[in-house]
C-alpha cells in the first residue's frame, strides 16, 4: 500500500509502472510513496519540524482538493501550488541539516508502537533527496501543465 499520485492530463496507461519510483515514472506523470517507516513522508517528518502524512494533508487542507466522479480525489492546480510551497519550506529545513535520521524499524512495545530512529549514511540521505526531487518535479509538472493531480492515498 502507498500513496499514488498521477498528473491527470497525462496518459494513464503510460503512468503505471508497477509502483516504480523513478525518473521515468515521474516523466510519465506518476509518483509513489510507501506507507511504511521507510517512506518519504516519514523521513520528512523526522528531518524537519513539520509533520507529513498523506491523509493529514487531505484532511487538513480539503480546500486543495475536489472530488471527481471518475478519478476520485483530485488535487487542484491551486492546491498543487500550496502543496509545492509546503514542500519547499520542508526542503529549506532539511538541506541545512548536518545529520539525518530514518526510522530503521517499528516495534510493538506493549500496546504502544514505537519507532527506532537511527542516523543515516550519506548514501541513504542522497536517495531521499532524489526521491524528494521526484515529488517536486511531479508537482511542478502538474502546475506547468495546469493539470490536477489524482490523489490516490
Which residue, chain included where needed, has cell 511531479?
138
Given pLDDT bands bounded at 50, 70 and 90, which one contains residue 89? very high
pLDDT of residue 13: 75
Cα angle 82-139-125, degrees, rounded to a multiple of 5: 100
Given pLDDT bands bounded at 50, 70 and 90, which one contains residue 118? confident
* pTM metric for this prediction: 0.90
Q: What percentage of the chain reaches a pLDDT higher than 70?
A: 97
Q: Which of 46, 41, 48 is nearest to 102 (CA)?
A: 46
Query: What is the DSSP track for 99-127?
Result: --EEEEEEEEETTEEEEEEEE--HHHHHH
Residues 43-64, mean pLDDT to the nearest whole number: 93
Query: And the C-alpha cell for 53?
Result: 502524512
> Which range marks the domain in which residue 78 is found?
2-152
Residue 36 has pLDDT above 80, yes or no: yes
Please tell me the total count of domains within the chain: 1
pLDDT tens string 121-141:
999 999 999 999 999 999 999
Residue 112 has pLDDT above 80, yes or no: no
Cα(26)–Cα(116) distance, integer angstroms: 31
Given pLDDT bands bounded at 50, 70 and 90, which one contains residue 15? confident
Helix intervals (H) in 39-107: 40-47, 54-60, 77-95
Amino acid at each position: 500500500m502507498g500513496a499514488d499520485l498521477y498528473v491527470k492530463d497525462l496518459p494513464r496507461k503510460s503512468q503505471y509502472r508497477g509502483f516504480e519510483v523513478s525518473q521515468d515514472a515521474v516523466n510519465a506523470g506518476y509518483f509513489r510513496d510507501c506507507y511504511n517507516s521507510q517512506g518519504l513522508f516519514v523521513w520528512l517528518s523526522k528531518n524537519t519540524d513539520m509533520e507529513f502524512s498523506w491523509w493529514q494533508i487531505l484532511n487538513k487542507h480539503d480546500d486543495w482538493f475536489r472530488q471527481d466522479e471518475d478519478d476520485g480525489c483530485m488535487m487542484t492546480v491551486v492546491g498543487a501550488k500550496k502543496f509545492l510551497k509546503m514542500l519547499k519550506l520542508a526542503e529549506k529545513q532539511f538541506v541545512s541539516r548536518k545529520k539525518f535520521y530514518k526510522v530503521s524499524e517499528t516495534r510493538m512495545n506493549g500496546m504502544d508502537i514505537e519507532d527506532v530512529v537511527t542516523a543515516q549514511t550519506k548514501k541513504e540521505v542522497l536517495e531521499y533527496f532524489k526521491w524528494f526531487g521526484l515529488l517536486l518535479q511531479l508537482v511542478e509538472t502538474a502546475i506547468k501543465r495546469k493539470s490536477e493531480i489524482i490523489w490516490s492515498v
